Structures are given as C-alpha cells and as structure tokens.
Structure 1
Amino acid sequence: MLVSERIGQFFLETDSGRDRLEYTEYGAGDAWVVLVHGQLMPRRMHQPLARALAADGLHVVTVDLLGHGRSDRPADPLVYSMTAFGEQVIALLDHLGAPQAVIGGTSLGANVSLEVAVLAPERVKGLIIEMPVLDNAVEAGILAFAPILFAARFLPFTVNAVRRVTRPIPRGIVPFWAGIVLDTLDQRADAMAAVVHGLFFGRVAPSSKQRRAITVPALVVGHPADPIHPAADAAMLAEELPNAEFVQARSILEWRFRPERLDRAAVDFARRCWKSPRRSRRAGA
C-alpha cells in the first residue's frame, strides 16, 4: 500500500547556535511513531520499517539527530549527548504537535528512546528497542569507536577522503542498504569527531534504576552474535522493563534483508500501544 511521504525541518537552540534538524513523515493521523537511527547513520535506514508501519495506518516520523544525515553537523562535542538527543526527539514531538508517540530506534536510537522515556514519560506511548547498548557492550564499543575518534581527530584527511569518494555515487543506482552504507560514510571529520567524542565521554544510557521505572509497553529486539550490541543487553533490558516483551532476531541481518517477521512484530506492537484496529487492505493493494 502506498503512503504519503513528506520531508520537514525544524530548528532548535543549542550551545552552537540555531541548528536545523530534518525529518520525514510517512502516513497521517494521531497514532504517532518516531524512529531514531543508529550512530552516524541517516534516518533513511528506517525507511522500510516506516513504510510498513504507515501502511497499517500509523503516522511515522524518522528524524536525523544533530550531527547525522541531512541535519546540521556542528563541530562542538558539547552539543552531543544521549540526553541532548532525547531532548531533540521531544522537541520534534512539540514541533509536530504530537502529545504522545511510540518511540523506537536501533543502537544509538534505542538508547535515545530510553532517554526520552526517562526525560518525558508522559510523551511516550510505547518503546521499540532494537540492539540497545548497555553494560555488556562497553569493551566492544570502545574497540569499535576509539579508532573512529582517533582517525577523525588526528587523521582527518582519511575521513574527508572517504567522503569525497562516496558522496558523488548516485544512491539510486545501488541497492538500498549499500546506499545506507554510503550515506554513513559521508562524514566530515570535525563533526564526526565531535559526535563520537560527545557520546564517548557522556553516559551511554539511563541507569538500571531509571530503566526499571519505565512502565510503558516495550518491544525489545536482540541479535545473536553481535559483540557491539550483545543479545545479553537486550535480554537484560527486557527483564528490567516491567512491561517488556523480548524478541530474538535470527541474525543481525534479519531485519535488514528479511524483515517480514520483525516488521509484523513492530506493527502489531505499535497498534496495540495505540489500540488501533488494522487498516483494511483492498485486493491487490
């Protein structure tokens, strides 16, 4: 089923000045869902899931957080933190006039969703958490992102050279996920260093005590054999959240390349949060 898609933007005041954030809306109505991307990735990574949710009558928004995708990318590490990202999602809800939403995300986006639930619990209808980064991911996270920070800070020509090579490649001629990889590689060294620095030296997620106080329904998806996003973290989070259900993906690639099962789980979960009936589909739609 085809759904309407439109791009929007809004502005917020930060320590670096007035910054612009860009988002895409899918569908319409009052049953809002906000999806947040992974670290350094663009909002377009959630386009397939957003379309699946919107096709069932939900009003879905994907957003590029500050320093990501087509939003502004200030080179000041002080403007980047999980709390700041959570505040940006709340500002997006304010801009859209959405009193509440199901908030969901992958990796960074999963942790940001938890931040929103702590900062503004009254705005959260439910949580879709894929690949949270918690206690069991500390060592792998350091190994993965310390070299990125080092390269961006001390060898910026390497990051900028990759950008010059990847940016001209038309995204329309490559497979969808290859395009997402190209978008992720499209980084400015100064901004990328600021993003990683800000997150590296800030808190990764709300504390266990704060997570246990999140009472909204939650769908937690964990992946096997993923050292940066251990399934143990997802299982632990599902135990901590009082109203969580845990779904284990068959692999770290399932939701990317064979998404039907997990899309259905996310659609059914979001619909239950809003208690909205399934939209009837016309034959052939």
Structure 2
Amino acid sequence: MLVSERIGQFFVESESGRDRLEYTEYGAGDAWVVLLHGQLMPRRMHQPLARALAAEGLHVVTLDLLGHGRSDRPADPLLYSMTAFGEQVVALLDHLGAPQAVVGGTSLGANVSLEVAVIAPERVRGLLIEMPVLDNALEAGILAFAPILFSARFLPFTINGVRRLTRPIPRGIVPFWAGIALDTLDQRADSMAAVVHGLFFGRIAPSSKQRRAIRAPALVVGHPSDPIHPAADAEMLADELPNATFVNARSILEWRLWPDRLNRAAVGFALGCWKTPRRSRRTAN
C-alpha cells in the first residue's frame, strides 16, 4: 500500500537563538505516531517502520532531533540534553496540532521517548521503546562514546575527513542500511563533539522512580548480545513500567533485516493504543 510522504520543518527557540528541525510525515489522520532515531543517526533509519505503520492507517512522523540528520547542528553542548530533546518532541506535537501520539524510538530515541512521558504525560498515548540505554549500559557507553568525543574535540580532522570521504557517495546506489551508515558518518567535528558532550555529561534517562510513574502503555523491545543496549536494561524497564509488554528480539539485526515479526508487533501495539487508552501487562516471545 502506497502512503503519502511529506517533509516539513519547524523552529525551536533557545537562549542562543532559533534552530530549525526537520521531519517527515507518512500517511494522514488523527492516530499519530512519532519515531525517534538513535544517537548520531538520521531520522531516515525509521523509514521502513514508518511506512509499515502508515500503511495500516496510522499518521507517522519521523523527526531529526537537534544536531542530527537534516536539522540544525549548533556546536554548543548546552543545547543538548534528554530534557531538551523531549521538549523538541512536544514542540513537534504542538506544531502538528497533535494532542497525543504514540512516541517511540531506538537507543537515544527510546530514552527521549521516556523523557517525553515524564515531562508531558498527557501527550503520550503509548511508548514504543527499542534498545533503551539505562543502568546496565554505563560502562559500554563510556567505552563507545569517550573515544568519539576525544576524536571530535582534539582530533577534528579525523571526523571531518571521514565526512569528506563519505558525503559524495550517492545514497541511491547503495543498500538502504549502508546509506544510513553513510549518513551517520556525515558529521562535523564541532557539532558532533557538542552532541556527545551534552549527552555524556547529562542525565541519560528519567530515574527509576519516574519511570515507575509512567502510566502509558508500552511495548519494550530488547536485544540479546548487545553490550551498549543490554537486554537487561529493556527487561528492567518492562518490569518498571506498569503497563508494559516485553518483546525479545532475536538479534540486533532482526528489525533491520528481517522486520516482519517486529513490525507486526509494533503495528498491533500502536493500533491498540488508539483503540483503547490502556493495555494490561503481558510478555511476548
């Protein structure tokens, strides 16, 4: 089923000025779903899922958070935090005229979705959480992102050099996920350092107490053998959220390369959120 796709933009104000954020809409109607990307990745990573959801009648929006994709990329680390990202999602809903949405995402996007549920619970119809980064990911996260921050801050020619090499490659001639990888490598050292610094030294996610107070229904997807996004974090989150369903992915690649099973779970969950305001707790295999 073909669905309409439209690119839009809106602006957010901060103490340092006015920044532009870009998004893509898929489909139409009042059953809104917002999908958020992983750290340093573009919103286009969720294009396949967005199309699958929109084909079932949902109105899906993918957003490039500040510092990512085609949105503005200021080089001020004070502009980057989970709270700021959560506020950008609320600003998107305001811009779209959407009273509520199912909000979800991967990795960084999962944590931002939790932030939205804390700062604006009345706007969240449900949560679609893949690979949250919580307590069990601390050490692996430091090992993964500390070298990136060091390179971007003190060896900027390495980041900018990779950008110069990868940017000219036409995305249309490479497989979809290779294109996403190339887009992720398309970074400026100054803004990349600011994003990683702002998140590295800020709070990663709402506290356990705040998470336990989230009443929105949630679908939590965890992956085995993923140190940066350990399955233990996803399982812990599913235990904390009062109305959560946990789905165990077969691997980190399943939703990327063999998406049918998880797409069906996401579609069923999102449609269910718009049919009923609450779901009872259960576990899926």
The residue aligned with 2:223 is 223
Determine the structure 2 residue equivalent to 1:69: 69
CA contact (8 A) 1:15 1:78 kept: no
Residue ranges of structure 1 left out of the alignment (5+ in a row): 277-285
Q: Distance in 2 between matches of 1:85 and 1:237?
A: 20
Normalising by structure 1, we get a TM-score of 0.96
Aligned residues: 276
| Residues 6-15 or 133-142, more deviating | 6-15
The answer as to whether partners of 1:2 and 1:55 remain within 8 angstroms in 2 is yes
Pairing 1:1-285 to 2, within 5 Å after superposition: 1-275=1-275
- Cα offsets for 1:73-106 (capped at 9, x unmatched): 0000000000000000000000000000000000
Deviations 1:205-256 (A, max 9, x none): 0000000000110000000000000000000000000000000000010000
Q: Secondary structure at the match of 2:41?
A: coil
| Secondary structure in 2 matching 1:215 | coil
Q: Is the 8 A contact 1:36 1:105 kept in 2?
A: yes
Q: Secondary structure at the match of 1:102?
A: strand
2:280 paired residue number: none
| SS of structure 2 residue aligned to 1:225 | coil
In structure 1, give the amino acid aligned to 2:54.
A
Structure 2: gaps of 5 or more residues:
277-285
Match of 1:280 in 2: none
The answer on whether the counterparts of 1:16 and 1:74 sit within 8 Å (CA) in structure 2 is: no
Using the TM superposition, give the Cα deviation of residue 15 of structure 1 relative to its aligned residue in structure 2, in angstroms: 2.8
The whole-number CA distance in structure 2 between the counterparts of 1:171 and 1:16 is 33
Percent of matched pairs sharing the same residue? 87
Q: Aligned partners of 1:14, 1:182: CA distance in 2, in Å? A: 30
Structure 1 moving runs of 4+ over 2 Å: none
Q: Deviations over 1:152-207 (max 9, x none)?
A: 00000000000000000000000000000000000000000000000000000000
- Determine the C-alpha separation between the residues in 2 that align with 1:147 and 1:96: 38
Shift of 1:151: 0.1
Distance (Å, rounded) in 1 between the aligned partners of 2:194 and 2:104: 24
Counterpart-to-counterpart distance in 2, 1:165 and 1:14:
33
